[in-house]
């Protein structure tokens, strides 16, 4: 038996990870997952495995699963408004199916 | 006439002596690996140094420098440290003020970008300092054990001044909306950075415990080899980041090429004063100049990025990593060593 839920994906600079996490938690999300990310975007190429001499300038991908689509949207909009003027980043939503609905 | 010619000969001899010493410095392994890294990146080599190895190298170098300092500080007279520490603070703040004013006058430079760049050049690079220490040890130039501990005295004030200046400027631009700059978060984020944490822990362990066995058996023997890997990585990074510098005003490249040597020479001059007044060692004067000439590469940039979000990181990281650091290591260190040999006759 699966339930419908929403997932917000935020790819941004590692240097603001803690601040983004605060925003996510402020919206009542119960948890999130962080991966090291790399790739190419409007602000240049970010390496994945190669040594980044400048610590904190690599990218991270943060994934949050929320019970409702509305919460997911609020998180995405809030993060984009607060940070993406000055920091590089993208964010998008996905519909997902979850197993244990009480976890979210 | 004869007297004049004699003086001329003497001056030429000094200059030639200086140049030959300068050339010898270029053959040291630290510089060779730095240039090698740049060549690899220029030829688009697939060689990559993994991030974890790089972080490990930084930790090892700073821990070794800290342990050695801590072990030797036990018998040192710390009162001697006072004047050089004051000079370090003054130089760190002076560089930021001077750099912000100069950069603000140049065309195509946004004021907060200029302030952030000056802040980075005022802060200190741990890897440049490590390279200089190895080069001094190779040539038996002695320095006081506490000299590496001057690092935070220059680094932290420079970052604080840059961040305060930028916030004052941004607040004035917004008119009335006064954003209060809190100093403590800047200090704690600097102290928590990977380089300074390792250095300070090393100092404390060396001072308070008996780490001689690990120091002699592990940290000290690995120091030089790991430094060569670090220099290779920095060379590769310097070349890769040149692209970013191309996107911002050309004046950044000019500043980044001139500023390290100017800052180093100012600190060398002040260090010389300390040498005369309190007998600060020639090796110490060189290291003080190296610190002033270096620009922070590990912990400074994230601190600035978090505290001055509107400043363009391509401008300050591009100038420091791709031009400032190679110049500080490849030209600066040999210059101060050769200058010290000429001035102090060591």
ipTM: 0.73
List the 19-58 stretch of A: residues with Cβ below 8 A of B.
Answer: 44, 49-58
List the 49-78 stretch of B: residues with Cβ below 8 A of A.
Answer: 49-51, 53-55
Can you list the domains of chain B with their CATH numbers?
A: 27-344 (1.20.1530.20)
Please give the pLDDT value at position B237.
87
Q: Which residue in B has a C-alpha nearest to residue A48's C-alpha?
A: B51
User: Is B244 within 8 Å of A16 when comparing Cβ atoms?
Assistant: no
| pLDDT band at B119; cut points 50, 70, 90 | very high
Between CA B329 and CA B319 the distance in angstroms is: 14
Please give the pLDDT value at position B2.
56
* Confidence check: pLDDT of B245 > 60: yes
Interface check B313 vs A, CB under 8 A: yes
**Chain A partners of B305 at a C-beta cutoff of 8 Å?**
13, 15, 56-57
Q: What is the pLDDT of residues B66-87, one digit of tens each?
A: 998 888 887 777 788 899 999 9
Pairing of strands A59-66, A33-37: antiparallel
List the 315-344 stretch of B: residues with Cβ below 8 A of A.
Answer: 317, 321
Instruction: Tell me which residue of B281, B333, B278 sits closest to B142, measured CA to CA.
Output: B281
**Whole-number average pLDDT of chain B:** 88
Most confident of A33-47, B56-70, B81-95, B312-326: B81-95
Are the C-beta atoms of residues B116 and B103 closer than 8 Å to each other? no
Are the C-beta atoms of residues A7 and A72 closer than 8 Å to each other? yes
| pLDDT band at A50; cut points 50, 70, 90 | low
Residues 6+ apart with CB under 8 A from B186: B156, B159, B160, B163, B303, B307
**Chain B partners of A53 at a C-beta cutoff of 8 Å?**
54, 233-234, 237, 297-298, 321
CATH number of A3-103: 3.30.70.120
Please give the pLDDT value at position B159.
92
* Confidence check: pLDDT of A55 > 60: no
Please give the pLDDT value at position B180.
67
Are the C-beta atoms of residues B29 and B228 closer than 8 Å to each other? yes
- Cα B254 to chain centroid distance, Å, stands at 18
Instruction: Tell me which residue of B151, B323, B309 sits closest to B234, measured CA to CA.
Output: B323
Phi, psi of B291 (to 5 degrees): -60, -45
Q: What are the domain boundaries of chain A?
A: 3-103
Kindly state the average pLDDT of the residues A22-33.
Answer: 93
Please give the pLDDT value at position B344.
86
| pLDDT band at B177; cut points 50, 70, 90 | low
Please give the pLDDT value at position B23.
77
| pLDDT band at B338; cut points 50, 70, 90 | confident
**Chain A partners of B302 at a C-beta cutoff of 8 Å?**
15, 54-57
Pairing of strands A44-46, A59-66: unpaired
Query: Which H helix or E strand runs over B51?
Result: helix B51-73
Residues 6+ apart with CB under 8 A from B189: B299, B302, B303, B306
Interface check A15 vs B, CB under 8 A: yes
Torsion sign, CA atoms B204, B206, B211, B214:
positive
**Whole-number average pLDDT of chain A:** 87
Interface check A86 vs B, CB under 8 A: yes
| pLDDT band at B176; cut points 50, 70, 90 | low
Please give the pLDDT value at position B1.
53
Please give the pLDDT value at position B147.
92
Task: State the Cα angle at B158 between B156 and B164, rounded to 5°.
Answer: 100
What length is written for chain B?
346
Q: How far is CA B114 from CA B14, B108, B237, B312, B323, in A?
A: 38, 10, 22, 9, 15
B80: tokens are 């001697």
Query: Which H helix or E strand runs over A44?
Result: strand A44-46
Interface check A97 vs B, CB under 8 A: no
């Amino acid at each position: 038996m699966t339930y419908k839920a929403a997932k917000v994906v935020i790819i941004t600079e590692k240097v603001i990870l803690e601040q983004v996490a605060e925003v996510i938690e402020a919206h009542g999300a119960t948890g999130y997952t962080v991966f090291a990310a790399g790739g190419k975007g409007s602000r240049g190429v970010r390496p994945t495995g190669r040594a980044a001499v400048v610590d904190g300038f690599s990218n991270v991908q943060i994934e949050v699963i929320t019970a409702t689509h509305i919460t997911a949207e609020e998180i995405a909009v809030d993060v984009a408004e607060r940070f993406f003027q000055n920091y590089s980043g993208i964010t998008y939503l996905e519909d997902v199916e979850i197993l244990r609905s009480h976890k979210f | 006439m004869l007297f004049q010619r004699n003086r001329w000969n003497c001056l030429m001899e000094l200059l030639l002596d200086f140049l030959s010493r300068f050339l010898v410095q270029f053959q040291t392994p630290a510089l060779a690996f730095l240039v090698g890294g740049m060549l690899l990146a220029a030829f688009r080599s697939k060689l990559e140094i993994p991030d974890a190895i790089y972080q490990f190298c930084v930790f090892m170098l700073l821990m070794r420098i800290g342990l050695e300092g801590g072990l030797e500080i036990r018998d040192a007279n710390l009162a001697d440290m006072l004047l050089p520490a004051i000079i370090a603070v003054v130089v760190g703040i002076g560089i930021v003020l001077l750099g912000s004013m100069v950069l603000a006058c140049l065309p195509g430079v946004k004021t907060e970008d200029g302030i952030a760049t000056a802040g980075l050049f005022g802060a200190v690079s741990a890897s440049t300092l490590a390279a200089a220490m190895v080069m001094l040890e190779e040539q038996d130039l002695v320095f006081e054990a506490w000299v590496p501990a001057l690092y935070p005295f220059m680094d932290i004030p420079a970052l604080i001044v840059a961040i305060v200046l930028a916030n004052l400027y941004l607040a004035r631009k917004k008119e009335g909306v006064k954003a209060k700059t809190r100093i403590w978060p800047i200090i704690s984020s600097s102290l928590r950075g990977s380089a300074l944490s390792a250095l300070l822990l090393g100092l404390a362990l060396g001072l308070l415990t008996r780490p001689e066995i690990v120091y002699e058996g592990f940290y000290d023997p690995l120091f030089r080899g790991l430094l060569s890997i670090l220099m290779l990585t920095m060379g590769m990074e310097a070349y890769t980041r040149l692209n970013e510098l191309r996107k911002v005003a050309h004046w950044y490249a000019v500043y980044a090429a001139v500023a390290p040597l100017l800052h180093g020479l100012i600190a060398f001059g002040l260090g010389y004063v300390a040498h005369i007044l309190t007998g600060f060692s020639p090796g110490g004067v060189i290291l003080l100049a190296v610190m002033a000439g270096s620009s922070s590469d590990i912990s400074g940039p994230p601190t600035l990025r978090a505290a001055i979000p509107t400043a363009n990181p391509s401008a300050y990281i591009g100038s420091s990593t791709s031009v400032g650091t190679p110049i500080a290591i490849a030209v600066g260190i040999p210059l101060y060593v050769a200058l010290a040999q000429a001035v102090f006759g060591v």
